[in-house]
């Protein structure tokens, strides 16, 4: 890694009217945030007093009001609700009974989001391995219940790319399945929930998750030639409701029409309190907003701090925000979107767009390292799906995210009944705020942005380069021919 002098690094960044962006400036930010960060405390308070934050639920509305009031208390005058209508979903009951050559048992199971209000299914189970498109080439699943692994099975050929649970469900539906059972990859019978709908609409067939051990047992029985049947009895609740994104705006001093969005989804699933997914990200967004106000940061460009709802049910809030920007003719004003989703203890930056200036981010990272040597200055320029950056990215907006460095075991509780506040380490969420504030301010206040918006053909090429075409086609989000 090439290290530059403080003088050269300082000249890289834009200056506010009152103070240069320098190591001294970052140290001042760091001192205030370390002493006064509210991210850990507010997440603990919300987890205790509100609980889960499922979109469309009473808890979800309480969470929206909670962050709105906090943003106001931090000194933001321009805080708004952005209301949108969704088909809300909440779980009712589900029972899965399996019959293996006449031996009947009931398995622990949890419904996947957006499953139908009522489902009563009895059919043979067909094992589809990883549930990828190629797995259907030799198996007819018409009128059957598909069983597939949530991830990639051991022994899968190298180079295969996994699909999201919603994409696996969509493939099963396309091939005539009447039910979907995915089995988790985490040991110990951990049950995972999450949306099974690529469109955000209610499914026509039931989708559910069982534990790893039960899934492997069914796999073995089917591969050994046993006749395995499933009986599914499921009820859920759905209906149109109104949810709200919460947006706080900090007006830019010199380029106010150019907007940088910092976002994280506030909503969570209902099996626990969603502390890691995505309390650790959304409450970091809330505290980065606080730190901008507390440190009187006034970047050249306008910064919008957004807490999205409906992410878990299909990126509903972020899709709505982007659709409104397109409808109002303002999408070109969004110059970058920085997304914090399950981010903790960041050690680097991922940035994508046209003409990404990696030297900008390398030097920014070196700058941060002089404040805290634990920051590893990792850099990448790649893309994935299924978080609130996706609708922005598909419009060519440059995307920034942070490389997390949390304990891997934490992610075993992803979407599960163990995703509670006890998983959150104060240092992980505080480092989000410390480094996130420095990165966001440096981008929003840069003399020249370190990337540019991609046009349609460049965006298409970027999606193909990142192996996202198949996934986007399955989800109905492929915009090109």
Q: Tell me, what's the pLDDT at 20?
A: 55
Range of the domain at 415: 6-78+251-474
98 occurs within a structural domain: yes
On whether residue 191 sits in a domain, the answer given is yes
pLDDT at 87: 80
41 and 94 together in one domain = no
Q: Are residues 194 and 283 in the same domain?
A: no
Strand ranges, E, within 266-325? 301-308
Boundary (domain end) residue, out of 237, 271, 288: 237
Residues of the chain with pLDDT under 70: 1-21
Residue 125: half-sphere exposure toward Cβ, Cα within 13 Å: 29
Residues 13 and 112 occupy one common structural domain: no
| Helix intervals (H) in 37-125 | 39-49, 58-73
CB 190, CB 184: distance < 8 Å: yes
Whether 177 and 283 map to the same domain: the answer is no
Backbone angles phi and psi of 349, in degrees to 5? -130, 140
Contact by Cβ (8 Å): 449, 335: yes
Residue 374 lies inside a defined structural domain of this protein: yes
The answer to the question of residue 83 being in a domain is no
3-state secondary structure of 271: coil
List, in sequence order, every residue forming a beta bridge with 304; answer none if it has no partner: 249, 261
Verify that 300 and 447 share a domain, yes or no. yes
DSSP three-state, residue 123: strand
Q: What are phi and psi of 272, to 5 degrees?
A: -145, -155
The answer to the question of residue 394 being in a domain is yes
Instruction: Judge whether 416 and 186 are in contact, CB under 8 Å.
Output: yes
Q: Are residues 271 and 212 both part of a single domain?
A: no
- Pair 96, 228 in one domain: yes
Residue 437 CB contacts under 8 Å (≥ 6 apart), including other chains: 29, 33, 288, 291, 292, 295, 297
Q: Encode pLDDT of 240-291 as tens digits.
A: 989 999 999 999 999 999 999 999 999 999 999 999 999 999 999 999 999 9
Task: Based on the fold, state whether residues 256 and 357 are members of the same structural domain.
Answer: yes
Compute φ and ψ for 85, nearest 5 degrees: -100, 135
pLDDT at 4: 33
Domain end, chosen from 189, 212, 237, is at 237
Q: Does some domain include residue 243?
A: no
Residue 245 lies in a domain: no
Residues 338 and 396 in one domain: yes
202 and 118 share one domain:
yes
Q: Count CA atoms within 13 Å of residue 408 on its CB side.
A: 1
Say what the pLDDT of residue 9 is.
Answer: 36
Contact 335, 448 (CB under 8 A): no
pLDDT of residue 241: 87
> pTM of this prediction?
0.93
Residue 141 near residue 222 (C-beta atoms within 8 A): no
Helix (H, G, I), strand (E, B) or coil at 379: strand
Same domain, 68 and 98: no
Length of the chain: 481
Q: What is the CATH number of the domain that holds 461?
A: 3.40.630.10
- Across all residues in the chain, what is the average pLDDT? 94
pLDDT for the residue numbered 86: 82
Cis peptide before 326 (omega within 30 of 0): no
Residue 153, classified by CB atoms within 10 Å of its CB into exposed (0-12), middle (13-18) or buried (19+), is middle
* pLDDT confidence of residue 10: 38
pLDDT tens-place string over residues 295-332: 999 999 999 999 999 999 999 999 999 999 999 999 99
Domain closes at, from 210, 237, 264: 237
Give the up-direction half-sphere exposure of residue 409: CA atoms within 13 A in the CB hemisphere: 5
Strands (E), 363-479: 378-380, 399-403
In CATH, what number is assigned to the domain containing residue 152?
3.50.30.30
Pairing of strands 334-339, 399-403: parallel
Give the 3-state secondary structure of residue 297. coil
Is residue 480 domain-resident? no
326 and 260 inside one domain: yes
Task: Give me the number of domains the chain comprises.
Answer: 2
């Amino acid at each position: 890694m090439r290290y530059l002098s403080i003088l050269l690094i300082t000249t890289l960044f834009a200056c506010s009217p009152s103070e240069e962006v320098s190591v001294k400036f970052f140290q001042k930010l760091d001192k205030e945030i370390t002493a006064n960060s509210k991210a850990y405390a507010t997440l603990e308070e919300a987890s205790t007093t509100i609980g889960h934050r499922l979109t469309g639920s009473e808890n979800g509305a309480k969470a929206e009001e909670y962050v709105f009031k906090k943003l106001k208390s931090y000194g933001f005058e321009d805080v708004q609700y952005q209301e949108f209508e969704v088909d809300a979903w909440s779980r009712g009951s589900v029972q899965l009974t399996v019959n293996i050559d006449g031996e009947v048992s009931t398995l622990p199971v949890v419904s996947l989001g957006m499953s139908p209000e009522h489902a009563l299914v009895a059919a043979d189970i067909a094992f589809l391995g990883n549930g990828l498109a190629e797995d259907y080439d030799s198996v007819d699943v018409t009128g059957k219940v598909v069983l597939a692994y949530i991830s990639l099975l051991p022994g899968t050929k190298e180079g295969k790319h996994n699909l999201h649970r919603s994409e696996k469900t969509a493939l099963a539906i396309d091939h005539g399945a009447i039910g979907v059972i995915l089995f988790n990859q985490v040991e110990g019978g951990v049950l995972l929930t999450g949306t099974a709908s690529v469109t955000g609409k209610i499914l026509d067939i039931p989708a559910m998750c069982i534990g790893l051990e039960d899934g492997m047992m069914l796999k073995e029985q089917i591969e050994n030639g046993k006749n395995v049947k499933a009986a599914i009895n499921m009820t859920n609740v759905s209906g149109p409701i109104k949810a709200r994104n919460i947006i706080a705006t900090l007006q830019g001093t010199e380029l106010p029409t150019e907007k940088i969005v910092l976002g994280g989804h506030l909503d969570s699933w209902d099996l626990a309190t969603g502390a890691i997914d995505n309390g650790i990200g959304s409450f970091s967004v809330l505290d980065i907003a606080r730190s901008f106000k507390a440190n009187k940061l006034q970047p050249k460009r306008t910064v919008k701090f957004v807490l999205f709802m409906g992410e878990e049910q299909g990126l509903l809030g972020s899709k709505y925000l982007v659709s409104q920007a397109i409808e109002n003719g303002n999408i070109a004003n969004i110059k970058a979107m920085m997304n914090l989703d399950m981010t903790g203890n960041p050690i680097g930056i991922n940035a994508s767009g046209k003409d990404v200036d990696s030297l900008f981010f390398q030097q920014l990272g070196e700058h941060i390292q002089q404040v805290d040597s634990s920051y590893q200055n990792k850099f990448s320029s790649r893309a994935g799906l299924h978080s609130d950056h996706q609708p922005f990215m598909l419009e060519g907006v440059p995307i920034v995210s942070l490389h997390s460095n949390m304990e891997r075991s934490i992610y075993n509780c992803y979407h599960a009944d163990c995703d509670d506040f006890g998983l959150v380490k104060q240092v992980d969420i505080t480092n989000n705020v410390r480094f996130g504030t420095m990165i966001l301010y440096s981008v929003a206040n840069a003399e020249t942005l370190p990337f540019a918006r991609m046009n349609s053909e460049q965006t298409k090429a970027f999606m193909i380069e990142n192996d996202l075409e198949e996934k986007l086609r399955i989800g109905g989000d492929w915009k090109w021919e």
